């Protein structure tokens, strides 16, 4: 309540009536409610945007990991193929040596076998 005695220089037109005070309070309450609703909507939008960004980041991370795994697998296959070719070449070389030695020893081996049959 406003007392006129408190304000010595207040004129009748300067004071607010009770209805005007209540209307001002109601307008302030409505404005506060609108601000709260706007803040809630903004918070929801921010959370939604954060979830979308997190989902996109996760997807990008998974794709990057898959690409890196495919690259590592491809490199391992290429390395394995190179090693297999090297081992195969060494095996072919040793096989050829065995075949050459086998041809050299074939005549003497045949004589040993035939000799054993003849004695038997």
**Domain layout of the chain by residue ranges:** 16-119
- How many Å apart are CA 118 and CA 33, to the nearest integer? 119
**Could you count the other beta carbons within 10 Å of the beta carbon of residue 100?**
10
Half-sphere exposure of 12 (CA within 13 A, CB side): 0
Residue 88: which of 100, 99, 78, 96 has the closest Cα? 96
Half-sphere exposure of 51 (CA within 13 A, CB side): 6
Q: pLDDT tens digits for 23-33?
A: 999 999 999 99
Lowest mean pLDDT among 6-10, 16-20, 56-60, 97-101: 6-10
- How many Å apart are CA 108 and CA 1, to the nearest integer? 134
Contact 2, 15 (CB under 8 A): yes
Contact 23, 16 (CB under 8 A): no
- How many Å apart are CA 55 and CA 16, to the nearest integer? 56
Q: pLDDT tens digits for 33-80?
A: 999 999 999 999 999 999 999 999 999 999 999 999 999 999 999 999
The answer for residues whose C-beta is within 8 angstroms of residue 15's C-beta and 6 or more apart is 2, 4
């Amino acid at each position: 309540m406003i007392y006129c005695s408190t304000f010595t220089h207040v004129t009748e037109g300067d004071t607010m009536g009770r209805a005007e005070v209540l209307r001002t309070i109601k307008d302030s309450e409505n404005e506060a409610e609108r601000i709260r609703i706007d803040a809630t909507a903004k918070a929801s939008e921010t959370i939604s945007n954060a979830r979308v960004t997190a989902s996109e980041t996760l997807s990008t991370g998974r794709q990057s990991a898959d690409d890196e795994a495919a690259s590592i697998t491809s490199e391992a296959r290429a390395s394995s193929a190179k090693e297999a070719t090297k081992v195969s070449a060494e095996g072919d070389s040793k096989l050829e040596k065995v075949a050459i030695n086998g041809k050299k020893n074939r005549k003497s081996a045949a004589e040993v076998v035939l000799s054993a049959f003849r004695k038997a």
